[in-house]
Structure 1
Amino acid sequence: MEDITKDWTGGEASFIPTPMEVAERMLEMAQVGARDVVYDLGSGDGRIVIRAAEKYGAKGVGIEIDPKLVERSREEAKRRGMSRLVEFRAGDIRKTDVSGATVVMLYLTADMNLELRPTFERQLKPGTRVVSHDHAMNGWTPLRVETLAGTWYHEHRIYLWEVGRTE
């Protein structure tokens, strides 16, 4: 599989998946449940929404710009029997309607988080949880920040916000 995908600027960005232990903690921090709809913006191989469906029975929507990763995600969801709960769409996350989300997962850049913040403020309902791996969102105060051990050179930081409580 190619590990280079086009990013939102039209340039190239490496596909770097969220480690599963970090994804698990992100879902736990968001207190995902069967009534949730989890959106993962820049969903890569689909691991976060597939895991939300498997472990919690949540519905999930992955948005990914690389059609090859979208197809790979769909295949993995089918292989795991989760196709009825998750869907994957090829698209630009800056143009995505996120109003149906109760949880939004991010592993982007701080700049991209900041660019998406006005969309979140317009479209997300109060109580929607937003969780970011490694990058804060200037202007929003997180309800919680956790640090997980990573490799010898990197610790993973997870930020949790709730719309209506953190702006």
Structure 2
Amino acid sequence: MHNRTRSRTAVHGHAQSHAAPHGRNRRRRSPRPAHKDPLVAARPCPGPLPVRTAPARPRRRAGAAEPPLPPAMEPGEPGEPGEAAWRGPGGGPLGGRSLLELALATGVAAWATWAVLLMPGFRRVPLRLQVPYQPSGPQQAANALALLRGRSGKTVDLGSGDGRLVLEAYKQGLRPAVGYELNPWLLCLSHYRAWKAGYHGKVSFLKKDLWKVNLSDCHNVIVFLAPSVKPPLATKLLAELPDEARVVAGRFPFPSWTPTSTLGQGLEQVWAYDMKEVRRAAQSSAEESRV
């Protein structure tokens, strides 16, 4: 009995000895020393990053109409949405050099069009005698043919262009009707117009230089040419045309001739010259200059 009591006391005292360090003799932890760098010590500890959430879309009531869509962006300044800038082969915007190359290419294309379509007719003609193509208007053609009404004999159009004056002369009974033109493209257009009007084979369009053709058998001459070629052409007509011939000039008159009659005003005005009277006036002026 005594031994049992002693053993319990010993066990109880052993338990107290093990529990003592957790009470009185417990070691306290010292606080964590501050950082040596004051800037780092003053910087607050980053907290959790904010999370962006999309705003909640309001619920659409049943039967309500859909909200209108925003208007489409119009092309604006560079860098704005909807910009419609020209892009180069690499997808980037065109720079100054690319724009210069584009301008040069456009100029070359325009020159090539002139060289292919219009220039072939002028290659063998001196520059001062070249006449650009300018079609006559309907009223100009009507006035020119009105001054030839009632006449007969061979009718020629010097620089016939698209052939409209030759066709109108044939309709009026002036036959044969011939057009002289050097440009092959305008000659093709003239033949097409004659075929479309039903006069194919009845009118003639010849690829000849008007400065080299012989006009001695012509009785009616139509001239719609620039004023720069009128003086040398007047010399040719005086030397070759018969006295019965009549010359009708459109747009610009012959500066040294006196017209027999005229019709129209402004750009639609035309002048008629009878070669017999023109020669008589030329001889009179020559005799007066001698005296």
TM range (shorter): 0.7 to 0.9
Aligned to 1:129: 246
Aligned to 2:257: 140
Q: Within 1, Cα distance between the matches of 2:202 and 2:220? A: 15
Residue identity (%): 22
Q: RMSD of aligned C-alpha atoms?
A: 2.2
2:241–2:275 Cα contact (<8 Å) kept: yes
1:26 and 1:32, CA in 2 relative to 1: closer, same or farther beyond 3 A?
Answer: farther
Q: Within 2, Cα distance between the matches of 1:32 and 1:120? A: 22
**Does 2:143 align with 1:25?**
yes
Aligned to 2:268: 156
1:40 and 1:32, CA in 2 relative to 1: closer, same or farther beyond 3 A?
Answer: farther
Q: Within 1, Cα distance between the matches of 2:217 and 2:192? A: 24
Aligned to 1:5: 118
**3-state SS of paired residue (2:277):** coil
Task: Give the number of aligned pairs.
Answer: 160
Unpaired runs of 5+ residues, structure 2, are: 1-112, 280-291
2:154–2:174 Cα contact (<8 Å) kept: no
1:10 and 1:47, CA in 2 relative to 1: closer, same or farther beyond 3 A?
Answer: same
**3-state SS of paired residue (2:200):** coil
1:32 and 1:44, CA in 2 relative to 1: closer, same or farther beyond 3 A?
Answer: farther
Match among 37, 47, 65 for residue 182 of structure 2: 65
Aligned to 1:103: 220
Aligned to 2:191: 74
1:32–1:58 Cα contact (<8 Å) kept: no
Per-residue CA deviation, residues 68-106 of structure 1 (Å, 9 max, x unaligned), is 111211221122122343100112211121222111001
Q: Within 2, Cα distance between the matches of 1:85 and 1:162? A: 27
Q: Which has the higher strand share?
A: 1
Q: Which has the higher helix share?
A: 2
Q: What TM-score, normalized by structure 2, do the two folds share?
A: 0.50
Aligned to 1:151: none
Q: Within 2, Cα distance between the matches of 1:72 and 1:17? A: 12
Unpaired runs of 5+ residues, structure 1, are: 149-153
> Aligned-pair distance for 1:45?
0.2
Q: Within 2, Cα distance between the matches of 1:14 and 1:135? A: 14
Q: Within 2, Cα distance between the matches of 1:54 and 1:13? A: 27
Q: Within 2, Cα distance between the matches of 1:118 and 1:144? A: 21
> Aligned-pair distance for 1:128?
0.5
1:44–1:69 Cα contact (<8 Å) kept: yes
Q: What TM-score, normalized by structure 1, do the two folds share?
A: 0.84
Q: Which of the pair has the greater relative contact order for Cα pairs under 8 Å at 6+ separation? A: 1
